[in-house]
Amino acid sequence: MKSRLDSLIDALLPVFATLAALLVGAVMLIILGVNPFLAYQALIEGAFGSTNAFAETLVRATPLLLVGLGICIAYRGNVINIGGEGQMIVGALMATWVGLYFVDLPGWLMITVGMLVGAIGGCIWGGIPGILKAYFNVNEVLSTVMMNAIAVQLMNFLLTGPMIDPAQADIASQIPQTARLAEAYRFPRLIPTRLHLGALIAVILAFLVYFLLWRTTLGYRIRAVGQNPHASHYAGIKVKHYIVIALLLSGAFAGLAGAMQVYGVNYRMITDGSPTGFTGSAGFNGIVAALFGQLHPIGTIPASIFFGALLVGANAMQRVVQIPSALITALNGLVVVFVVSSDFYRKKRQRRRISLTQDEENPDPQIFEKSLLPEEKNT
Amino acid sequence: MISDLFTPTVLLGILASGIRLATPYLFASIGEAYSQRSGVLNLGVEGQMLLGAFAAFYIAKLTDSLWLGVLAGMGVGALMGLAMAFVSINLHAKQGISGIGFYLFGLGMSNLLFQLLVGTVETVRGFPRIAIPLLSSIPWIGNIFFNQNILVYFAFLLVPISSYVLNKTTLGLKIRAVGQNPEAADSLGVSVARVRYFTVIFGGTMSGLAGASLSIALLNVFQQGMTAGQGFIAVALVYFGAWRPWGVLAGALLFSLVNGLQLWIQVLGIPIAPEFAVMMPYILTILVLTLSVSKVRAPAALTKPFEREG
């Protein structure tokens, strides 16, 4: 039996892993001649020090949570979706387009339509790799990375050409951005900061995803396919369908994240010409958040807030102790490596428990182990 | 006009840019092919390339020696390879994810070090072209194939050498055995861990070299995030080339020729939006993966950690 202490230690492993990464960060700061306590203090104050700071943290956390929810679904279905960036971009492009095209709708209706269209955009961009994986055996890691690059070019084309803000089109320094959405189409704000209703919606969706994955047949089948495609096949589950569905759903959440950035934060689509100019790497960081939340939708909520805080705090740290915020990107990477490595100790402890008690506890989902094998055709 | 593309000068120009652009892909993809053949998927190539590119650039600038720069790039790549090997082989970390971690680490570290140590855009005098006597004077193609910088030659030499090593030597046999059936290899006395350490570190070294070839041989400048996804494409090219060095060469050439074509489309002012031109190689890669990958089989133990039973 798994005791309560064991569960607690398992749940805290990612925290230990993060502390280890922060410790490495502290050593790096010392080498750079900066007092790590001052640096981390600046980081924490920058992320939580005032109502405004905390609101910013939640604003940054919202797209991470949404992308992360999609990642939870995909990874539970044994599909590695690296395409959050592209799915966000396409979702945002489509949501922006409907918002600018239909100008006379009631606000609540347009916002709903915009979010749906954004989700559909993400669905399309996630669905293509899904179909390619299920029916053409194309590795989804590679196709989603390619789809990201294609989406970035599509965005740069549309935002400097057909969709450019008419006010920018005439002047020399053309900022790649669209016109502003009508005022009625903006997400309501929760408190007088930039915090918008989307944050709350994202949290509600986290609970819905939990319900979907563990309380519905659809979710059960996605997880079954993720754990053992062969057994699922013999149990009569159409494995290929669920691979596609997992990526469709995953893309939908990323697309929604993109649409929400437009309707909730910028009120237009804007980029700076770099590949992450619009997303701010949320498509990648959402993966990190989901992993940190142990691929559990509810766990992804605090994980997103944590990484949102790191990102917002990094800017404050840069201002106060003059350490480039790139340090936090590097630390994010270390967190991922340490968290995914700490899983080893969880499994080791689990095995010891099993050998001690001879208890037939359900083993871990063997996700990822085989996901990169092209020959896994499940026929 | 589109017909401008089909003049001999332009076609040769495309070929010449294609050969040059293939260099970083060849280094990184061939290195990755070794590690995947032994059963380890290294998704952190992009991060290794970025940090390698920065180390090579910085050391070359500091010491005025390009070769020390190359060594620094390779050394940094090797260290990251060592870390990747440790977490994959000893800690059984999921390789698809730990690779993302190493990518983020390389991205963040190279940006951080660049901002702290360099700060502004600076250039180095990169490796000069070396014309190979006689061969370089062959009309038309001599100038393309035999008047390149030394890293370009190295990259292309790596292909036949790797093909020989993987297919004809004991080391290659061990690498393939460990990637195909680690239990059997282990029972025959091959150390699975040692072979995998070797291939992953070698792969990292080659990724570092790929980064160095960008920053001190092709572009001669370091910019933040300068690899722009090339490391991920390098991983894709391994699948594309069906885990064989010659296949990787074909993929790298195809990809960089299309890239060269898109550069020339922009140079000639052909009325295709540059964004669509840049998209072409990616779309092409997806298409080729769609049409080809289903026929080949990956190494059977790819991404699976090995542990002795009992």
In a domain, A172, yes or no: yes
Mean confidence (pLDDT) of chain B? 89
Residue A148 in any domain: the answer is yes
Show which of residues 96-115 on chain B sit within 8 Å of chain A, judged by CB atoms.
96-98, 100-109, 111-112, 115
* Chain B CA closest to residue A130: B290
A365 band by pLDDT with thresholds 50, 70 and 90: very low
**Nearest chain A CA: its distance from B279 CA (Å):** 5
Write down the pLDDT at residue B8: 79
The answer to whether residue B276 neighbours chain A at the CB level (below 8 Å) is yes
- pLDDT tier, A137 (very low <50, low <70, confident <90, very high otherwise): confident
Answer whether B297 sits within 8 Å of A374, measured CB to CB.
Answer: yes
Which pairs from B155-158 meet CB under 8 Å and 24+ separation? B155/B22, B155/B23, B155/B24, B155/B26, B155/B27, B155/B213, B156/B26, B156/B249, B158/B26, B158/B27, B158/B30, B158/B206, B158/B245
Cβ of B41 under 8 Å from any chain A Cβ? yes
| B111–A329 CB contact, under 8 Å | yes
Chain B residue closest to A275 (CA)?
B228
A313 near A42, Cβ under 8 Å? yes
Residue B216 clears pLDDT 90, i.e. is over it:
yes
How many Å separate Cα A236 from the centre of its chain? 32
Confidence of residue B41 (pLDDT cuts 50, 70, 90): very high
Q: Which residues of A touch B115 (CB under 8 A)?
A: 324, 326
Type of residue numbered A26: A
- Distance, CA of B123 to CA of A131 (rounded, Å): 45
pLDDT at B133 over 50: yes
Residue A101: pLDDT above 50? yes
Q: Which residue has the higher pLDDT, A319 or A372?
A: A319
B290 chain-A contacts, CB cut-off 8 A: 132, 136, 138
Torsion A199-A51-A57-A332 (CA) sign: negative
Residue B4's pLDDT is 73
CATH of the domain at A118: 1.10.3470
Query: Per the domain annotation, does A343 fall within a domain?
Result: no
Please give the pLDDT value at position A372: 40
Backbone angles phi, psi at A281, to 5 degrees: 65, 15
Mean pLDDT of A41-47: 93
Contacts of B114 by beta carbon, 8 Å cutoff, 6+ apart:
B54, B222, B224
Residues whose CB falls within 8 Å of the CB of residue A338, separated by 6 or more in sequence, listed in order: A17, A18, A20, A21
Domain residue limits, chain B: 25-237
Backbone angles phi, psi at A290, to 5 degrees: -65, -40
Split at pLDDT 50, 70, 90, the class of A376 is very low
Q: Does ipTM surpass 0.85 in this model? A: yes
Q: Which residues pair with B130 in a beta bridge?
A: B148
With beta carbons under 8 A apart, name residues in chain B contacting A153: 275-276, 278-279
**Percent of chain A having pLDDT more than 90?**
58
pLDDT value at position A375?
Answer: 39
Which of these ranges, A104-118, A205-219, B2-16, B220-234, has the smallest mean pLDDT?
Answer: B2-16
Per-residue confidence band for B294, with pLDDT thresholds at 50, 70 and 90:
low
Do A330 and B91 count as a contact with CB atoms less than 8 A apart?
no
What is the distance in angstroms between the Cα of A33 and the nearest Cα belonging to chain B? Answer: 12
pLDDT at residue B136 in the model: 78
Give pLDDT, residue B175: 95
Number of inter-chain CB pairs under 8 A, A vs B: 175
Q: Which among A136, A143, A375 has CB closest to B297?
A: A375
Rounded to a whole number of angstroms, the distance from the CA of A334 to the nearest CA of chain B is 6
Q: Does A330 sit within 8 Å of B303, measured CB to CB?
A: no
Q: Which of A61, A44, A29, A95 is nearest to A293 (CA)?
A: A61
Confidence grade of residue A198 (pLDDT, cut at 50, 70, 90): very high
Confidence of residue B1 (pLDDT cuts 50, 70, 90): low
Q: Binning pLDDT at 50, 70 and 90, where does residue B233 land?
A: confident
The three-class DSSP label of residue B131 is strand
Domain extent, residue A252, equals 62-309
CB contact under 8 A, B303 and A373: yes
Nearest to B275 among A80, A148, A156 (CB): A156
**A141 with B235: Cβ contact below 8 A:** yes
Structural domain total, chain A: 1
CB contact under 8 Å between B100 and A287, yes or no, is: yes
Cβ of A340 within 8 Å of Cβ of B98? The answer is yes
Q: Which residue of A has its CA nearest to B109?
A: A330
Which residues numbered 68-87 in B keep a CB inside 8 Å of some CB on A? 83, 87
Tell me what pLDDT residue A200 has: 95
> Rounded mean pLDDT of chain A?
88
State the angle between helix axes of B95-113 and B45-63 in degrees (0 to 180), rounded to the nearest 10.
30
Which of A72, A310, A337 to mutate to probe the B interface, most B CBs <10 Å?
A: A337
Residue A185 lies in a domain: yes
Q: In chain B, count of helices (H) and strands (E)? A: 12, 2
Residues in chain A closer than 8 A to B273 (CB atoms): 157, 161
The pLDDT of residue A250: 97
Give residue-wise pLDDT tens across range A295-324: 899 999 999 999 999 999 999 998 998 888
Q: Among partner residues A148, A153, A340, which is closest to B97 by beta-carbon distance? A: A340
From A44-58, B21-35, B141-155, B213-227, the region with the lowest mean pLDDT: B141-155
Contacts with B83 from chain A: Cβ below 8 Å: 337
| Cβ <8 Å between A340 and B94 | yes
* pLDDT over 90 at A45, yes or no: yes
> In chain A, which residues have their Cβ closer than 8 Å to the Cβ of B285?
142, 146
How close B207 comes to chain A (CA, Å)?
18
Instruction: Please tell me the least confidently modeled range out of A214-228, A364-378, B85-99.
Output: A364-378
**Residues of chain A with pLDDT > 70: what percent?**
93
Asked if B129 and B145 count as a contact pair (C-beta separation under 8 A), the reply is no
How confident is residue A277, by pLDDT bands cut at 50, 70 and 90? confident
Please report the pLDDT score of residue B52 as a whole number.
Answer: 97
Interface test with B, best of A125, A288, A294, A373 (most B CBs within 10 A): A373
CB-based contact A215:A75 (threshold 8 Å):
no
Question: Residues A263-268: what's their mean pLDDT?
Answer: 94
- Distance (Å) from the alpha carbon of B118 to chain A's nearest alpha carbon: 13
Chain B contact probe: residue of A27, A136, A146 with most B CBs at under 10 A: A146
Percent with pLDDT over 90 in chain B = 54
- Position A370 pLDDT exceeds 60: no
Whether B290 has its CB under 8 Å from any CB of chain A: the answer is yes
Closest CA to A144 of A231, A94, A75, A95: A75
Q: Given this model, what pLDDT does residue A274 score?
A: 81
Average pLDDT on B161-189 reads 94
Q: Give B136→chain A minimum CA distance, Å.
A: 36
pLDDT the model gives residue A368: 43
What was the pLDDT predicted at A1?
A: 54
Cβ-defined contact of B273 to A161 (cutoff 8 Å): yes
